[in-house]
């Protein structure tokens, strides 16, 4: 059903929503890797940061040499705020890593719909982004699929619990 919803949105938009799909697949892959990684949350985040440190530093230096960027271009308070954006990013990633290891993968996948839904609601309700009938239909199909997936999982867990107590 979710694929039908995405197909409907693709046809109604006239093009594939490739950015949304790439984000969905990469974050799902990230969740899977966090769930199955042999390293703990802190160690895996340290490894990820270490891998990305050199390319990020090279990019920042390149942008600075071109006269762009913001770091060290402004006052100390701005630079301090830029530095602490790392903390604001790292803490949720660390908590995500801990959570991913402690819940099952199907629940993790379901929970990953919360942030995009909140962003969607902010766009529509606060920033008055247009919400067309096509979007309503497409998103309704996707959310119906998620609800059915959750319902089936809920019923299966209750049946398993009932069978376990009957033994």
Tokens 């959310």 correspond to what residue? 143
Question: What pLDDT score was predicted for residue 137?
Answer: 92
pLDDT tens per residue, range 130-158: 999 998 998 899 889 988 988 998 898 89
Write b or e for each residue in 129-142: b if 16 or more Cβ atoms lie within 10 A of its Cβ, otherwise e.
Answer: eeeeeebeebbebb
Query: What's the mean pLDDT in 47-63?
Result: 91
Furthest CA-CA distance within the chain: 72
**What is the band of 167 on the pLDDT scale with cuts at 50, 70, 90?**
low
> Is residue 83 predicted with pLDDT exceeding 70?
yes
Higher-pLDDT residue of 97, 4: 4
Find the mean pLDDT for residues 116-138.
Answer: 91
pLDDT given at position 128: 94
Q: What share of the chain is helix, strand, coil (3-state, %, to 5)?
A: 80, 0, 20
Domain residues for the domain of 56 are: 2-166
Q: What global pTM score does this model have?
A: 0.65
Number of independent structural domains in the chain: 1
Using DSSP's 3-state secondary structure scheme, residue 75 falls into coil
């Amino acid at each position: 059903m979710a694929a039908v919803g995405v197909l409907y949105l693709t046809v109604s938009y006239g093009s594939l929503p490739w950015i949304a799909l790439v984000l969905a697949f990469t974050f799902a892959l990230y969740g899977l890797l966090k769930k199955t990684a042999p390293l703990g949350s802190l160690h895996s985040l340290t490894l990820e940061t270490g891998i990305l440190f050199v390319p990020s530093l090279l990019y920042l230096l390149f942008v600075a040499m071109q006269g762009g960027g913001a770091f060290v271009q402004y006052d100390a308070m701005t630079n301090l705020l830029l530095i602490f954006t790392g903390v604001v990013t790292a803490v949720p990633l660390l908590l995500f890593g801990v959570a991913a290891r402690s819940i099952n993968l199907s629940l993790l996948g379901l929970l990953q719909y919360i942030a995009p839904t909140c962003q969607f609601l902010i766009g529509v309700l606060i920033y008055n982004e247009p919400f067309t009938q096509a979007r309503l239909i497409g998103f309704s199909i996707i959310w119906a699929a998620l609800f059915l997936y959750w319902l089936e999982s809920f019923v299966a867990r209750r049946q398993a619990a009932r069978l376990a107590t009957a033994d």
